[in-house]
Structure 1
């Protein structure tokens, strides 16, 4: 099997409501969809959703790297040779994990379809039967975010991830308002997205949050401040998760060596796709560090890829892949059985891509053949 054509689609995924985190507010999610054609007539889909605040990539740069750098070097390759394919991509360009993830995901879709197996069977088989879905709460005024949380509890959710990372005192008020509104039996996770900047500010917040029974605090300090995470961890019993601070195996080694976190958040867009994500999970398992698979708010394509990784690994104990629930239109049909997600046994990623919607959402496109 050989890759004979690579189609690129730069799209805007329309959000139901703006998605607000510490560093940006999104009215839509810019994504790049990759469609690989082969000489056997099998087609595979991948996706890259860039975040310049996390990996230094943009929507535009991801598209152009795919078009001008990666697509030309993998054209004619056998997508089943995934280790070699990554070596080719790494030799062509340093970094650029989001662009590489789009290719990687499309290849796993192709391999699964070729073999008639779901992608999770290619990286260890199925371990988990289902995962609870965590609803992500964007940054809002305390009363508004508490109201949203209460409404989602009524819909069956019992787990929330709160986006914070602005003014610390205001963030504390937001978290307190949600806890008061939903009660003590609902899980709350707090993600500062680097917004508290340093360990001193984080410790101020933690003093006020000590009795709120939080599942964990995620990435309170700047991504590269691994030592800051070590210091915070020594001062609190609230579990800490690293997200932006973990991109690849080098960061994972440092996190393990310094015991800098209780949990890590693996994202396919940060590490380069399904294959590198599985490697990170193996590293974490050797150190006894629990993992989560998160997302950059992706369509059904990349969200499904993340779920395949999560379902295959015992050490992955939580997921936050809710992008498709946030869009008014999606290019795929990943199914959520709220408040759970269960994967099918369909081959590849297990989703159908609606080409009509794909073209409707496309801003610009190219084909390399």
Structure 2
């Protein structure tokens, strides 16, 4: 089996409402969709959601890199040779994980279809039967975030991920308001997205939230401040998760050596796709660190890919892939049984692509062939 052509679509996914985190407000979600076709006519889809604050890539740079470098490199290659393909991409381009993830995911999709098995069967088989879905609360006033949490509880959600990361005292009030509204039995996870900057600010905040009963605190300090994470972990009692600071194998090795976090948030867009994500999961498992598959607010394509990874490994104890629930239009049909998700048993990613909507959302596209 060989790759015959790769089509690249730069799209904007419309959000039901703006998505607000510490460093940006998203009115829509820029994404790159890759459509890979083999010589025997099989089609696989992949996705790249770049973020200059996290992966160092932009929507435009990712498109250009795929068009001019990665796609031409892989024409004529066997999509089943995951290790070789990643070695080729890594030798050709330093970093650029989201761009590589788009290729990686498309290859897994098409290989699953070739073999007639779901992607999770290529990763060791299915371990989890279903995952509860955590609703993500965008940054807002304490009152607004609390009211949204109360509304979502009525829909069946039993856990919330709060986006914070503005001014410390304002964030403390947000967390306290949501906890007071939902009661003690609802799980709350707090994601700072580096917004508290350093360990001093974080420790100040967490001493005020000591009795808030948080499941965990995610990436309070800037991404590369591993020593700051170590200090926060030593001086607070809430479990600590690393996200932006964990991109690839080198980061995971340092995290393990320094014991810088209790948990890790693995994202396909940060590490380069399904194949590298499994390597990180194996490293975490050996170190006794729990894993989460995180979201870059991908469409059904990227979200499904993340779910296949999570469903195949015991070390993944939570997921937060809720992108498709945030879009008013999506290119795929990943199905949620809110507040749970159960993957189907169809070959590949198990997602149908609506070509009409794909074309409608496309701002520009190209096709790469021999």
TM interval, shorter chain, is over 0.9
- Give me the TM-score of the superposition, normalised by structure 1: 1.00
Match of residue 101 from structure 1: 101
Match of residue 150 from structure 1: 150
Give yes or no for the alignment of 1:56 onto 2:56: yes
- Give me the TM-score of the superposition, normalised by structure 2: 0.99
Give yes or no for the alignment of 1:88 onto 2:88: yes
Cα offsets for 1:178-200 (capped at 9, x unmatched):
00000000000000000000000
Match of residue 291 from structure 1: 291
Cα offsets for 1:31-88 (capped at 9, x unmatched):
0000001111100000000010001100000000000010111011000011100011
SS in 1 for 2:310: helix
SS in 2 for 1:51: coil
User: What is the CA-CA distance between 1:295 and the residue it aligns to?
Assistant: 1.2
User: What is the CA-CA distance between 1:100 and the residue it aligns to?
Assistant: 0.1
Match of residue 269 from structure 1: 269
Q: Distance in 2 between matches of 1:202 and 1:8?
A: 41
Give yes or no for the alignment of 1:119 onto 2:119: yes
Match of residue 20 from structure 2: 20
SS in 1 for 2:69: helix
Aligned pairs, how many? 369
Stretches of 4+ aligned residues off by more than 4 angstroms: none
Q: Distance in 1 between matches of 2:39 and 2:141?
A: 54
Q: Distance in 2 between matches of 1:219 and 1:15?
A: 25
Match of residue 364 from structure 2: 364
Match of residue 338 from structure 1: 338
Q: Distance in 2 between matches of 1:194 and 1:182?
A: 26
Q: Give the 5 Å matches for 1:224-235.
A: 224-235=224-235
Cα offsets for 1:245-266 (capped at 9, x unmatched):
0000000000001100000000
Q: Which runs of 5+ in 1 are unaligned?
A: none
SS in 1 for 2:8: strand
Q: Distance in 1 between matches of 2:67 and 2:92?
A: 13
SS in 1 for 2:196: coil
Aligned-residue CA RMSD (Å): 0.4
Q: Which runs of 5+ in 2 are unaligned?
A: none
User: What is the CA-CA distance between 1:225 and the residue it aligns to?
Assistant: 0.1
Match of residue 34 from structure 1: 34
Match of residue 301 from structure 1: 301
User: What is the CA-CA distance between 1:236 and the residue it aligns to?
Assistant: 1.0
Give yes or no for the alignment of 1:133 onto 2:130: no
Match of residue 255 from structure 2: 255
Q: Distance in 2 between matches of 1:134 and 1:21?
A: 16
Give yes or no for the alignment of 1:246 onto 2:246: yes
SS in 1 for 2:189: strand
SS in 2 for 1:276: helix
Match of residue 196 from structure 1: 196
User: What is the CA-CA distance between 1:237 and the residue it aligns to?
Assistant: 1.1
